Amino acid sequence: MVRSRSAAVTITLVTLSLCAPLRAAVSTVVRFNSVVGTWDVRLYNTATPLTVANFLSYANSGRYNDSFIHRRATGFVIQGGGYTFTNSGGVVNIPEDPPVLNEFGISNLRGTIAMAKLGGDPNSATSEWFFSLADNSANLDFQNGGFTVFGRVLGTGMTTVDAIAALPIVNAGGAFNTLPVRNFTGGVIMDENLVNFNSIAVQAFTPGDYNFDGAVNTLDYNIWKADYGSTTKAEADGNGDGVVNAADYAIWRDNRTGAAVVAAGAVPEPGTMTILLAACGLAGWAARRTAAHKKAGLE
């Protein structure tokens, strides 16, 4: 018994030390508060940690306040994050941090946000980002090292993004040759003619609260369950790794505070090993191991 217990403790410690850096990430949700409307974006903290940290550095320092959408490519993207505008100060380049290493991995589908960068330089992203209006994977996944998707619009947010994309555009020269404008009838473009952001700010919520109603309960579990396996719905992607799986269930379970909305036991839980492996990022390893074992007649 003593020997067996000792072995178990050793395995647990090894497992914890392996998992610790991978289990820490919980995804961030950011609210884009524009004059046209607001929408929320879940960031892929686990899949693209450097890019998320880079974006949050700009957002948390307030550098995106008073920024505006400066480019629309019809049926392709709207782009911002490069400039601020005020009637008193005019156009100002947002002060840039050093470029961030490219972390392409998630496909540039409709509803994703990715970093803009210089042509022929995969590792040149600084402050500018864009939302894909359509499936741009065939282009953007294979160009310049792939454009790093680092978040995805939640809920009905694309309705507002589409409304911005439907605004008229004017050619104001340079980087502003496809500039979306509001209530513009000619003359000098002013603050009230642009798609400005009052703020782009991190939202506070409890991890596992997948519908943002303030409680972590069965309603959130149901969202997780309905979206299980999805790589295109980020509502229940609690760790922001690009897929809704057992690791996100574990985040919900570990933060559950609200009363069950359905009777306990009415919904099945993933197996403990599945949660552990997914939380550690070892699910792929386990699948390969099982396949190898089956091939070898071990399982």
* Binding stretches for Ca ion (CB under 5 A): 209, 211, 213, 215, 220, 237, 239, 241, 248
Beta bridge partners of 132: 77
Say how far apart CA 65 and CA 6 lie, in whole Å: 55
184: tokens are 């513009």
Q: In angstroms, give the least distance from the CB of 161 to Ca ion.
A: 23
Q: Which is nearer to Ca ion, 19 or 36 (CB)?
A: 19
Closest to Ca ion by CB, 193 or 239: 239
DSSP 217-232: SHHHHHHHHHHTT-SS
Indicate the helix (H) or strand (E) that contains 130: strand 129-132
Nearest distance, CB of residue 152 and Ca ion, angstroms: 12
With b meaning 16 or more CB within 10 Å and e meaning fewer, what string describes 271-287? eeebbbbbbbbbbeeee
- Closest listed residue to residue 103, CA positions, set 280, 227, 240: 240
Whichever of 47 and 200 has its CB closer to Ca ion, that residue is 47
Closest approach, Cβ 223 to Ca ion, in A, equals 8
CB nearer to Ca ion: pick between 58 and 221: 221
Closer Cβ to Ca ion, 66 or 235, answer by number: 235
Q: How far is the CB of 215 from Ca ion (least distance, A)?
A: 5
Q: How far is the CB of 102 from Ca ion (least distance, A)?
A: 21
Smallest gap, in angstroms, from Cβ of residue 247 to Ca ion? Answer: 5
3-class DSSP assignment, residue 253:
helix
| Alpha helix (H) residue ranges in 136-269 | 137-140, 158-165, 218-227, 246-255
